[in-house]
DNA sequence: CCATTTAGACAGGGAACTTGACCATATGGT
DNA sequence: ACCATATGGTCAAGTTCCCTGTCTAAATGG
């Protein structure tokens, strides 16, 4: 039973690793070779609702300073833009540019390709059961770098 | 369909993140607060068969130099020991000490606790199906840090 | 109106990784 | 047996990404 649990744990780690590598190489193939996994988590947060640097830092679980540098990088590369925050003259809202949205879509496509390869390793019923089980146990909330 | 795949991908990432955090906090509770996730992957490799620094570097996917520093750290903390390689006087085989084995067991226990919490979110049949599906699609081979 | 908080940036430092150079030992062709 | 080349491991220097500490400008709340 314990051995089974460890095998399950390592399977999750292997799949996560395979997924991240698939997204990274898929992005590179599509011309996005200047984004890191951490940037993807920022895109996920910002594609839902614009956020300030401080809110993004809270979401990513890193300091404002590190987030500030990450944001500078993404703005310099054309993935993000600043907009004034109407309710706070100190703050600036971060929004995805067209390029940022295109990169996000490319990442989702690359992820879907990896998931597709998983689908092909199982029967249709098995894959459907896997999907529903994963969705049932995965906790909602922040999607952050694992370590 | 594509949305489903993305949801599946994020579920895997969330579970991997939850698992790694669970292992790290479980290890800290048991007194192993000086090991990082990357060290765990080294333990996994070395608990099977002893390896040289260069072989460990190949397994972890990092340079020999970075591996050398990691090994120094683990030896200084009592997790690893060197043994002469009978077939190559330049090389030294790395083996887990008692402490290293105890730490590995503690990590497996902490991982099992997290997997147990997943088991409790599903029916017995659903969890069994999840396990078999994960084992079916996870590729064997190196277990490396995801990113 | 002033004390405190908060958004964001700047400076300095550390941890973990890289590339490049190096020595000692192995290995393989002649 | 010998020498050219490859390999195990380390040292040195530089990069990246993160941290803590500090600061200014603007917001917030007695």
Q: Which CATH number applies to A20-137?
A: 1.10.10.10
Which of A71, A59, A65 shows the shortest CA–CA distance to A96?
A: A71
| pLDDT per position as a tens digit, B18-50 | 999 999 999 999 999 999 999 999 999 999 899
Cα A23 from Cα A30, distance rounded (Å)? 11
Comparing CB atoms, the residue among B2, B11, B17 nearest residue A146 is B17
Taking an 8 Å cut-off on Cβ atoms, the answer to whether B116 and A5 are in contact is yes
Alpha helices in chain B (DSSP H): 2-29, 37-48, 53-60, 64-76, 98-119, 124-137
Cα distance between residue A15 and residue B17, in whole Å: 12
Which residues of chain B have a CB within 8 Å of the CB of A110?
none
pLDDT at A69: 97
Query: Which DSSP state fits A51?
Result: B
The closest of A55, A13, A21, A54 to A40, measured between CA atoms, is A21
B11 interaction partners in chain A (CB closer than 8 Å): 134-135, 137-138
Residue A90 Rama label (left phi>0; alpha psi -120 to 50; beta): alpha
Tell me the CATH architecture of domain B14-137.
Orthogonal Bundle (1.10)
Band (pLDDT 50/70/90 cuts) for residue B1 is: low
Give the integer Cα–Cα distance in Å for A71 and A65.
10
Contact A2 B112 (CB under 8 A): yes
List strand D contacts in A 43-102 (CB < 7 A): 61-63, 65-66, 69-70, 73, 87-90
Question: What Rg do the C-alpha atoms of chain A give, in angstroms?
Answer: 18
Which pLDDT band, with edges at 50, 70 and 90, does B118 fall under? very high
Chain A hits for B126, Cβ within 8 Å: 129, 132-133, 136
For CA atoms A139, A145, B2, B5, give the dihedral sign. Answer: negative
């Amino acid at each position: 039973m314990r051995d089974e649990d460890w095998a399950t744990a390592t399977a999750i780690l292997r799949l996560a690793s395979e997924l991240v590598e698939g997204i990274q190489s898929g992005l590179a193939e599509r011309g996005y070779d200047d984004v890191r996994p951490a940037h993807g988590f920022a895109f996920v947060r910002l594609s839902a609702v614009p956020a300030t640097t401080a809110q993004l830092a809270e979401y990513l679980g890193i300091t404002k300073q590190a987030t500030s540098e990450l944001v500078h990088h993404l703005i310099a590369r054309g993935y993000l833009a600043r907009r004034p925050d109407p309710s706070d003259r100190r703050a600036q809202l971060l929004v995805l540019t067209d390029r940022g949205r295109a990169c996000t879509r490319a990442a989702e496509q690359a992820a879907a390709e990896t998931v597709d390869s998983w689908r092909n390793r199982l029967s249709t019923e098995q894959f459907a059961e896997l999907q529903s089980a994963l969705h049932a146990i995965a906790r909602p909330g922040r999607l952050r770098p694992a370590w």
